[in-house]
Amino acid sequence: MKKCILLLFFSFCCTSWLNAQVSSSKEIEQHLDKIDSLIKNQELLNAHSEMVDLEKKHEKLLKGNAYFHYVKARLLFHHAADLEGSEKEYLQARNLYEKARDHRKVAVINGNLSNVYLDQSNLPKAKEVHKKAMEFYESKPEEQLDYFILLSNYARIFLTEGDYLQAATYYLEVLDYYEKEGTEKQKGRAHAQVGLAYDYANMFKQAEHYYGKAIEYRIAAADTLGLINTYNNMGILNKNQGRSLEAIGYYQHALTLANATQLDQHKINPLINLGVVHRILEKYPEAVIYYEQALQVSQKLQNEGRVYDIYNNLSHLYIVQKNYQKAFEYSKLATTYMEKTQNLEDLVSYSYNHALALNGLGRHKEAFEVLLQRSWNADSLYNLENARNMADMSAKYETSKKEQQIDLLSHESNLQKLKLRQREWALGISILILGLSILTFNLLIRQRKLKVSIQLKEEIQRQQELSTRAVLQAEEQERRRMAADLHDGVGQWLSVALLHLNHLKKELHTQAPTLIDVAMTAIKTVEDSYDEMRSISHQMMPHALLKVGLVSAVKEFVHQLNKHDIVVNLHVHGLKGTLEEQLETTLYRVIQESVNNVVKHAQATRLSIQLQQDTEGITVSVEDNGIGFSKDHREFTSGIGLSNIQSRVNLLNGFLEIDTEPGKGTQITVFIPQVPSPQTH
């Protein structure tokens, strides 16, 4: 009887425990569903609070829960921007789902992991996991919607990589699907993505068309968050085309909607963008108001990186308004943060405003010390980049060396085999065909000599090309270094000298008026020196070529030429992005050298520059109406300028043609075949 009672009691306890576990599991799943829903609705602070409560209540039960790790990874990614933590949780969730053979969940996690790797700038890894996710959905035609969602994210990888036209191709494929099967909200999102790809590719008319369609669909779908993003993008598009007032209208639309949502994170971008466009319009007090509003929101959201970036922009705005005390307060906050993070690039950028603020307050010695430290940081940044480049070159050299050794061993092995075969064959022949064997042997020797001769010529040519390439690369690197040294070194010293002289002028005005002319002459001399230094720096390595590519650099060069007594026309056809760096540098130097020859020698009044790219290659033409010259002239046969152009063109397997006669002007045409597809830095 007692045994039966004990057995019943034990059974009751087990049942109660199991029911409690089931109840806890359901409670955890419901709690996680709630957190996931909050993340989707961008209520990230509430989602974070709920996650903290869940972990406190069910810490032990959550360790092996794949759904928990998945939701936590999403929260870390969207709320805290903790990429490492998010990656760790996603990998743990994927491992658990793989053990459970839940292939759909594994595919979903691979798609999300791709976004993590993308934000880590690990593009190969992002592509790898994304392809795995897409492979799952490609085998399931009934789940086309999920496939096209992934394809949209896949296009984002190419957008980040700079292959904007490939991204646009994928986005258009997604748009085509949504036009047939999607909701108004999905159509709006797809149009916005196509517009963004064209916007990045500087195809502004196409971008404006798709942004406009996106706005129509998103208004119809009451997609408030989508409208905020598209209004922001339309504002940026108009700002970049010089339409500042239209840009302000779109930014105001975005800000109005952001205020209506009560989601603070959506207010930051329109506020900063309004600050930027008012700064462009030189309406500095209004720009300060927008930046300070953005600062308040960023501080509330504890977005530290954005806070200190706004500090730096506010410092610049107060410097322009000569409120140096305010500028100093903000620049000090910005540089303190950068010193903590030890980000050299930001330190170089932020410390300049700090030095200007100090100088404006009359603390010239401290301003000089900040500029000196900035110069050292710039040198460190340059040396770090050089070290990386040297490491890459060393690795490439070692790889090439090993390949040459393998080729040499293979060649020696082939020669040994050939000798053995010849010996075996020689032993088997009869005396009657001895003469034929001698004839054959002589033929082989001649062939071998011919082969060696050809190989020697090819090697000499290859070495000459390598030598020429190395000289040109070294020349370009030295140009960049000297341009950077002039701008960051001499330029800053001249800036400080100018600040001191202006201060001295103010002092002389009150104390020694007779010396004002001397001070003004000194100021004019320093200003002329600064302008000359900037001109030389630009000639050596134009900023636009490094940042935004060949077309912008040539436009900037032409703009400077139009200041002379010569009318310059520039025509560009087919060039929509940037090209490979060496190609861009070569084409720019060809144009620069040709134009300089025209300015110096041609006595021309008109100059035409044409840049054209098609399926066969790229053509550059520089034509003037000057005095021309004879092809027998010494400059044509032995000039250094034309020799440099010819060397650069030869390295790219192109050709150079010069059409000129005395009194009939000159046309220089360069053609480079099989130009790589445009890409963006």
User: What pLDDT digit, counting tens, does each position of 375-408 carry?
Assistant: 665 555 444 444 444 444 444 444 444 444 444 4
Dihedral sign for Cα 289, 291, 292, 296, please.
positive
For 281-323, where are the alpha helices, taking DSSP H only? 284-300, 304-320
Bridge pairing between strands 666-673 and 617-624: antiparallel
Q: Domain 223-302 adopts which CATH fold?
A: 1.25.40
Q: What is the DSSP letter of 266?
A: G
Six token digits for residue 274: 């309004």
Angle between helices 144-161 and 103-119 (to 10 degrees): 20
Running DSSP on this structure, what letter comes out for residue 599? I
C-alpha angle 599/483/671, rounded to 5°? 50
- Separation in Å, CA 15 to CA 12, 21, 22, 249: 5, 10, 11, 66
Q: How many CB atoms lie within 10 A of CB 209?
A: 15
Q: H-helix or E-strand containing 623?
A: strand 617-624
**Taking a C-beta distance cutoff of 8 angstroms, is the pair 247, 277 a contact?**
yes
How high is the pLDDT of residue 208? 92
The sign of the CA dihedral 404, 406, 412, 415 is negative
- CA distance readout (Å), 473 to 372, 465, 480, 537, 618: 30, 12, 11, 18, 21
At 549, which helix (H) or strand (E)? none
Helix or strand or coil: residue 611? strand
Helix axes 103-119, 123-138, angle to 10 degrees: 160
Q: How many CB atoms lie within 10 A of CB 466?
A: 11
Contact between 617 and 675 under an 8 Å Cβ cutoff? The reply is yes
User: Quick one: pLDDT at residue 442?
Assistant: 67
Helices (H) and strands (E) in the chain, counts: 27, 5
Give dist(CA 213, CA 216) in Å, integer: 5
Residue 591's DSSP bridge partners are: none
SS3 assignment, position 563: coil
Q: Quick check: 152 and 194 in contact, CB under 8 A?
A: no
- Three-state SS for 678? coil
How many whole angstroms separate alpha carbon 248 and alpha carbon 284? 15
How confident is the model over 217-226, as pLDDT tens digits?
999 999 988 9
The CA-to-CA distance between both ends of the chain, in Å, stands at: 85
Whether the model pTM is above 0.75: no
Q: Is 302 strand, coil or helix?
A: coil
Tokens of 530: 């600064």
What is the three-class DSSP state of 100? coil
What per-residue confidence (pLDDT) applies to 518? 63
- Round to whole Å and give the CA distance between 642 and 438: 53
Which tokens is 396 given? 């490439």
Question: How long, in residues, is the chain?
Answer: 681
* Residue 179: closest CA among 132, 143, 130, 213: 213
The rounded distance, in Å, linking the Cα atoms of 6 and 156 is: 65
Cβ neighbours for 77, distance < 8 A, ≥ 6 positions apart: 83, 86, 112, 115, 116
**What Å distances lie between residue 558 and 533, 539, 568, 571, 591, CA to CA?**
19, 12, 7, 11, 10
3-state class percentages of the chain: helix first, strand second, coil last, to nearest 5: 80, 5, 15
Domains 20-138 and 546-673 are alike in CATH topology = no
Domain ranges of the chain: 20-138, 140-218, 223-302, 546-673
Helix (H) or strand (E) holding 262: none
Sign of CA dihedral 490, 387, 477, 563: negative
Give me the helix-helix angle, 268-280 and 284-300, nearest 10°: 160
- The pLDDT, as a whole number, for residue 393 is 40
Query: Could you say which architecture CATH assigns to the domain 546-673?
Result: 2-Layer Sandwich (3.30)
The phi and psi torsions of 140 (rounded to 5 degrees) equal: -130, 85
Assign a CATH topology to domain 20-138: 1.25.40
* CATH code assigned to 140-218: 1.25.40.10
* Strand-by-strand arrangement of the 655-660 sheet: 567-573, 606-613, 617-624, 666-673, 655-660
- Stretches where the chain sits below pLDDT 50 are 17-22, 381-410, 412-413, 544, 636-638, 678-681
Identify which of 283, 279, 196 has the alpha carbon closest to the alpha carbon of residue 233. 196
Place of tokens 């301003």: 367
